[in-house]
Every structure is written in C-alpha cells, then in structure tokens.
Structure 1
Amino acid sequence: TNAPELGIPPVTESRLYGPAHNPWNLERTPGGSSGGSAAAVAAGIVPVAHGNDGGGSIRIPAACCGLVGLKPTRGRISLAPNLGDILGGLVVEHVLTRTVRDSAAALDATAGPMPGDPYFPAPPVRPYLQEASTPPKRLRIAFSTENPLGGAIHPDCIEATQRAAKLCAELGHEVEEAAPQLNYQMLAQLFETVYSAGVALSIEATRLLTGAEPAPDKFETFTWSLYERGRQVSAPQYLIAQAMLQQAARQFAALFESHDLLLTPTLGQPPLRIGTIDFMSPATTLLDEKIVNFAIPCPVYNITGQPAISLPLYWNREGLPMGVMFGGRYGDEATLIQLAGQLEQAQPWIGRKPPVWD
C-alpha cells in the first residue's frame, strides 16, 4: 500500500516509508502514485487494488508493472459522500488489475452517480463485464509516438506502440498516424498551476483537521515547494487556468470526431531506476525534465475527462513491461474495454509473471 507523499510524484519513493519496488525488477520503480497497489497486484499478493488518477497515477503504475490500468471518464465513479470533484475534475478513482475482466467487473461494482454529484456521464448500455467479451466494431484508431513537448520518447516505448498499431490493423481496424495539435507547453504550465493549488489545499485541509502547523521539516522538499507555489496562486489565476484547460479539452476532443480511439505509449520511458528523481532537491519541480519525459502521455486525459486504458501488451529486452495507452471519447469506456478484451485474447499476458511471484 506504499504511496508517495500526498500522491504527487509518478514514482513511489517516500522519505517516510522508503521506495516501493517493481516486481519485474527490484531496482526499478513500480510507478506512482498508486505504486504500492500496482506492486501488490503484479506480485500476486492481491488480484485487485485501489488507485486514483490525477495525472496518470493509475496508468503509470499499470505500465510499469505489466497491469491493466483504466482511468474512467470524469464523474463515472462518484466521489460521494464528501466531495463533488477534485481539482476541477482532474482526479478519478478506480483500480489496478491483471486482467481486463477484473477491471471491468470492478467498474460495474463502483460506477454510477450519487445524489448531489455535480455531473456524471451517460450510464452504460450494458454491464462493462459483458463488454470485455464483446468484439468491437471496426474501429478508426489514430496513433502517435511523438513527445508533444519535443523531448525524446524511448525507442522501447515507440516500438511497443508501433507493434500495438500493427496488431490492431491485423485485427481489422483502420489505423493511421495522427495526433491532436495542442500547445502542450502552455498546458504543462496550466496543469502545474492547478496541481500546486491542490497540494496547498491538501496541506491546509490537514492543518484545519489536525491543528498541526505546516513546516518545511515535515515534508519532502518537492512537496513543500509545490505547497509554497500553490499558496501564491490567486483565485483569478486558478480560474483562468481552469478555463484554458477546458478550451484545450475541446480541441483535444475534436480528434475523436474522426477517430474512435487514440493510441500512444503510456510512458515516455521504461520504468525508472529507483532514485532517478531526487525529491529532496530544491531544483526538482513538477515540470522537471525527468518527470515530464516519463509521464508526458498521461495528463491530457485528466484535463479532458476522457477515459484511457493502459495495457501490458509488450515487454522489452530487459524484461520490463512496456504499457501502451488507448484513449476514447468522453463516456465511452465500453469501446476501450471491448478493444482491450480483444487485444488480451489475441496476445494474452496472463501467463507472464514476475520473478518474485514464486
């Protein structure tokens, strides 16, 4: 159940509890923030574990640990009874699993609105568990292996995505290279504004609940820097950032008028070595190059609210999982689950188990 401090980083290496280890290679991270959950599922300790996703925190650990990681549509799973949304809808809840079936069954068990929810997507036509064994129609799938910020994508991540595109074409789907044209540099700045305000919210809420005054020695340097940044964000700045993110969401969603799904790498790099990112360094920020180049494909779906799923279709030559991610239209988990079930049947991964399994 290990998690990074306040669930912020894309790796799980808290100063308080130490690093969580990837069952496929104990020198590598299981990702974050739901890294402990992913490690437990990948190691065979439990079949299903909770995760939440505000910038990739289900999909990143799934990709690192060879698991299925579905980020549901915004509002699909209620945040009742305490909250309506988190950070304007960036954060959603779900699970990490080894199979598409288990992820679909968990979604059936938890999806649906509660009284007072601010919004919710249209209900599914039939149970998601049924979708897992329902063949999809012939889909129009766009794919891209580009880093939208111009950085490098690791060749292993590119190869996994290209092989996934080829497999989809062999299954009869229409596949072409295409990607939405967005100002990702601006999006990164806006996302950092909203996210840092969320860190300040978490710490200030803890102060109100416990009476304990925040102090730098109680937090990792990375967390405290985000807290101080978040405290400087004014209400107009926060609302402007939210409005601009909503504009970008409309631009991104336009791609799905001509395509059913978008295929990309889940991550820009294979699972990082533990200790790659120093969270006690004052120089480490949310926009640190190591963080951005690792997690870059994921946050856009938190911004748009659209569903996305990471699948463990490939492992690299070092025996590390290489997740690939499919994103779909708002409210259309059904198509993602149908395709995921088809791909799982065509190229099963359930027989692959990490060295620690026995």
Structure 2
Amino acid sequence: MTKIIDQEDGVGIARAIAAGEVSASEVLEEAIERIEELNPHFNALVYKAYDDARKLAREVTPESSALAGVPFVAKDLALDWAGMPTTNSCAFFAGHVASSDSEIARRVKAAGIIPVGKSNVPENGWCYSVESRFHGRTLNPWDESLVPGGSSGGSAVAVATHMVPIGDASDLGGSIRVPAAINGLVGLKISRGRTTMGPGVVDLWSGSAVFNCVTRTVRDTAAYLDVIGGALPGEPYALAMPDVSFLESSAVPRDRLRIGVMSTRPDGNAVDPEVRAAVEAAAKLCETLGHEVADFDLRYDWGNIREFFVRITATTATMMFEAAGHAMGRQVTSADVEPVTWEMIELGRQFSAVSHAVDTERLRQVGRQLTVDQLPFDVVITPVMPVTSRPLGWYDMSSSIDSYHDRLLEDMQFMVPFNMAGQPALSLPLGSTSSGLPLGVQFVGGIGDEAVLLSLATQLEEAAPWKDRMVPPAVRGAGTNAR
C-alpha cells in the first residue's frame, strides 16, 4: 500500500488528517515503519521517542495548526525537548536528559507536530558533515561516499528519505542551507530576531545563530515558521510577526522583483562550473517568471571575516563549555571532546574581553555594509557552496584546527556573511550535478523579508517542481511507491 508520507508533504498530511482520510496515529506508524526500515543503515536518528509520540498522536486536534499530526524529528543540538537527551553528539553531555522544553519545542508540540526522536549532528554542530565519535556517521542517501551536509545532516537525511516530512534544523554558518542543498530540500535560514532560542539562551553568537527547519516543499517551511516564529519579550533583536501568515503569503506571487545574481566568489574568482551553471539557470528561471534580473558583483573581504569569525566562535565555544561545566559539576577535558573542539576551547581562552568586543563590532560593521550593498535588490541569488558535495572525511574533526578550518571555512564564504548581517537566506533544490546529485541555489532577502523569499520560492517550485524529482536512490530502492 502506498504511504501517505511518500505522497504528501506535511501540509498535505495535516489536511488529510483534518478531513478524516487518515488519523495522526496511522501517519505516525508509517513514519515509524520507515525509520525502522532505513535508520539502521543511514543513522539519521540517534534517539527514538515512539511512546511519547504515540501519546501525542492520539491527542492531536486538527485546528492546532496547518501541520497538526505531522511527524517530525528534533535536532540533538542546543534546544531542550523534555524527556529527551541533549547530547550535542558530545561525550561531555552524555546522560543529560532535558527536564523541560525550550520555547520552540513547546510551540511545536502545541501546534500538534509530533516529535518521533532526535537527529544526528556533528559534535556541537561545528561541521558540514555528521561523523562524530559519539554518535557515528550519518550517510548521504544520494551517494554514500559523500558527506550528508551538516550540522543538520541527520534531520536532512530523515526528511530526504521520507522518514518524516519536517526536520528541526539550525544555522550559524550554513547548517540549514548546506544539508538542504546536498539532499534536495528546502532550507531557510531565518532573519535574526525572527524567533527565540529561549529560555536558556538569549543571544547566541550575537544573534547570528538561528533555528528553523528542513523540508521537501516551500509551504511546509512557511507553515513551520508560522509555528515557531516570534521572539520572547525583552529579546534584543525581536522582529514583529507579519499580520498575514507565512503560509498564506507564500502562495501569493510578488510583483516584479529586482534580483541580483552573484555567480563568482566574493573576491571575483570562479566557483565550480556546475555550481555556476545552477546559479545562472535559477536566474534565468526568475527572468522567465517576469522578474528583473541583473548581475551583481557583491564583494566583501572574506579573509577578514574568516579571522574574526574563528575568534568569535572560539570565544563563544569556551563560554558555553564553561557554563555547561558549572551546571554539570565538572569542567570539560580534552578526553570529553574531539580534537578540533578542544583546540577551539583552548583558543577561546586566549582572547580578552576587549578583543571580543572589537571582533563583535567588526561583525556589525560587515553586516551593515552587506545590507547596504544589497539595497538596490529585493533578492540576491548566490551559490550555497563554491563546490559540489565533499567526500566523507573531508571535514575531519580529529585533524588540527588549522587544517580543519582551511577546509570548512573555504566552503562557508557564501553563507556566514548573511548570518552576520541577520538576513534570511534560502537554499532551493533547483540544480543538479552531471551525475544527478542535488545542487542547491541560495536566495538572500532583506532583514525580515522571509515572506518575499517564500513567495518567490513558491513561484520557482511551481515552474520547476522538485518534490517528486528529489527522491534519493535509497528511498526508491526501499520501494516508496510499492508499499
């Protein structure tokens, strides 16, 4: 029998539940069956919460949200989900079980979305792959010799293989966009201040880190943002939620948009030819839809950004581990973490408060200038990464910090600046490589302009549908259309 989780996205599933065509419990059992079938091989989920999920499914009320009754996987990083471990794929946090929900977790559950477990991540989320010592590798369902993307790689693989329609994801330097691009998914990094990381965190990485999701369709991403959107009172970057829901506004085409196209690196050097071809094809598609498209040489000093990005990240990592040590009653040691993490902690201890304040100001200067430079355009199109997918082992957290950063930061240069500027940035699965692998293209909007990006994305999705095209060989081999 055909599974509804293969035929419908999250919004479609929720509508079928509301119409009485299927129950939330039946959908959940389909998801559990798929997880049990595929997860032992792909290792996308590292914790299962089936009993709690079954209880929630029995209590679903369709009016809760546009995603009520939809199975979902939480990310094992930073946010707390009551009763589930929060390990960050790090031995230091082994045995820690959350006693309460973070605000996003509370909102997700209140919306009738059903967490079935937690997804695999690299240690502390600092990687574009998922290959930790603590939880092991997550495999790419398109090509197991390649990275699955990170840090939200476990969630992305769970969504790509139809274990669940929606996966929890976060992004400091591309951790939503990279796994979305690699797995043929929609991945929106939201604006700074669009939602909250409370109550435990107010201002992570000067507001550059955000949570949202990875999905297979634009409307699922819009509906999920309606659920989690809204800062808590008193937070420093709070954006007002729009009067019209993101789901509703995403379905309304925008008038002619001014779109800039950046198809070279920030220093003007070339990207991989297949990456450039995907960007140029996306730009051409926008033009055929009636938008005004022009080349845009967005230039910024990536070497300068890279330097203070590393220092701020190291300082923040040190702060977080010291705070965690106080809470857990012991301080972290080199035996608790992977070599790159330990070197980051040690590096962060070298910087003064004045140094950190200077770097934070430099971040703000870069962010402001980037925003000003893009004012002539409503949307800017760029690559997600300058290359196609990397081989497993490329981002090796057992290597030295310098060699690790040489590889990781090379691939971050189209993403990190927009975290610093606070702008929304969306990866869409519009391209593919010569070998048939998904290739994402990034669309960047103005601060608070998620509705513009989602509306344009809906137009592109209708013009070049990807939902059925982006089914990995692993899922086709499992017989999605024969069950």
Where on the TM-score scale, by shorter chain, does this alignment land: which range? over 0.9
Is 1:146–2:267 an aligned residue pair? no
Is 1:19–2:125 an aligned residue pair? no
> C-alpha distance in 2, partners of 1:33/1:318?
24
Q: Hey, what does 1:234 align to over in structure 2?
A: 352
Is 149-158 or 334-343 further displaced after alignment? Answer: 149-158
Is 1:71–2:189 an aligned residue pair? yes
Alpha-carbon distance change, 150 to 234 in structure 1, aligned in 2, over 3 angstroms: farther
> C-alpha distance in 2, partners of 1:223/1:356?
32
Q: Hey, what does 2:161 align to over in structure 1?
A: 43
Contact kept, 8 Å, 1:66 with 1:322, in 2: the verdict is yes
Q: What residue identity is the alignment partner of 1:148? A: P
Is 1:32–2:150 an aligned residue pair? yes
Q: Hey, what does 1:251 align to over in structure 2?
A: 369
Q: What residue identity is the alignment partner of 2:384? A: T
Residue 257 of structure 1: how far off its partner (Å): 1.9
Does the residue aligned with 1:295 lie in a helix, a strand or coil?
Answer: coil
* 1:287 aligns with one of 405, 409, 412: 405
Does the residue aligned with 2:259 lie in a helix, a strand or coil?
Answer: strand
Which string of whole-angstrom CA distances, capped at 9 and with x for unpartnered residues, describes residues 150-182 of structure 1? 665221111110110111111111111113332
> C-alpha distance in 2, partners of 1:6/1:254?
33
> C-alpha distance in 1, partners of 2:396/2:285?
38
1:1-358 aligned within 5 A: 1-149=119-267, 153-282=271-400, 284=402, 287-288=405-406, 290-352=407-469, 353-357=471-475, 358=478
Contact kept, 8 Å, 2:260 with 2:295, in 1: the verdict is yes
Residue 191 of structure 1: how far off its partner (Å): 1.0
Residue 197 of structure 1: how far off its partner (Å): 1.0
Contact kept, 8 Å, 1:112 with 1:123, in 2: the verdict is yes
Count of matched residue pairs? 357
Alpha-carbon distance change, 246 to 285 in structure 1, aligned in 2, over 3 angstroms: farther
Q: What residue identity is the alignment partner of 1:73? A: S
> C-alpha distance in 1, partners of 2:243/2:429?
27
Contact kept, 8 Å, 1:269 with 1:293, in 2: the verdict is no
Residue 94 of structure 1: how far off its partner (Å): 0.4
Compare relative contact order (CA 8 Å, sep 6+) and give the higher one, 1 or 2.
1
Does the residue aligned with 2:173 lie in a helix, a strand or coil?
Answer: coil
Q: What residue identity is the alignment partner of 1:252? A: L
Residue 285 of structure 1: how far off its partner (Å): 5.0
> C-alpha distance in 1, partners of 2:254/2:131?
39
Instruction: Among all aligned residue pairs of Structure 1 and Structure 2, give the percentage whose two residues are the same amino acid.
Output: 39
Contact kept, 8 Å, 1:199 with 1:230, in 2: the verdict is yes
> C-alpha distance in 1, partners of 2:193/2:455?
21
Task: Name the larger-Rg structure.
Answer: 2
Contact kept, 8 Å, 2:397 with 2:404, in 1: the verdict is no
Contact kept, 8 Å, 1:10 with 1:295, in 2: the verdict is no
Is 96-105 or 121-130 further displaced after alignment? Answer: 121-130
Residue 148 of structure 1: how far off its partner (Å): 1.8
Contact kept, 8 Å, 1:90 with 1:305, in 2: the verdict is yes
> C-alpha distance in 2, partners of 1:181/1:350?
34
> C-alpha distance in 1, partners of 2:248/2:276?
32
> C-alpha distance in 2, partners of 1:150/1:199?
32
Contact kept, 8 Å, 1:72 with 1:307, in 2: the verdict is yes
Does the residue aligned with 2:411 lie in a helix, a strand or coil?
Answer: helix
> C-alpha distance in 1, partners of 2:267/2:349?
27
Q: What residue identity is the alignment partner of 2:327? A: L
Does the residue aligned with 1:257 lie in a helix, a strand or coil?
Answer: coil
TM-score normalised by structure 2 residue count: 0.72
> C-alpha distance in 2, partners of 1:81/1:332?
25
> C-alpha distance in 1, partners of 2:207/2:147?
27
Which string of whole-angstrom CA distances, capped at 9 and with x for unpartnered residues, describes residues 72-107 of structure 1? 110101122222220111111101100000000000
Does the residue aligned with 1:70 lie in a helix, a strand or coil?
Answer: strand
Residue 338 of structure 1: how far off its partner (Å): 0.5
Contact kept, 8 Å, 2:343 with 2:401, in 1: the verdict is no
Contact kept, 8 Å, 1:312 with 1:322, in 2: the verdict is yes
| Structure 1: tracts of 5 or more residues without a match | none
Q: Hey, what does 2:88 align to over in structure 1?
A: none
Contact kept, 8 Å, 2:259 with 2:292, in 1: the verdict is yes
CA RMSD of aligned residues (A): 1.4
Alpha-carbon distance change, 257 to 283 in structure 1, aligned in 2, over 3 angstroms: closer
Alpha-carbon distance change, 201 to 220 in structure 1, aligned in 2, over 3 angstroms: same
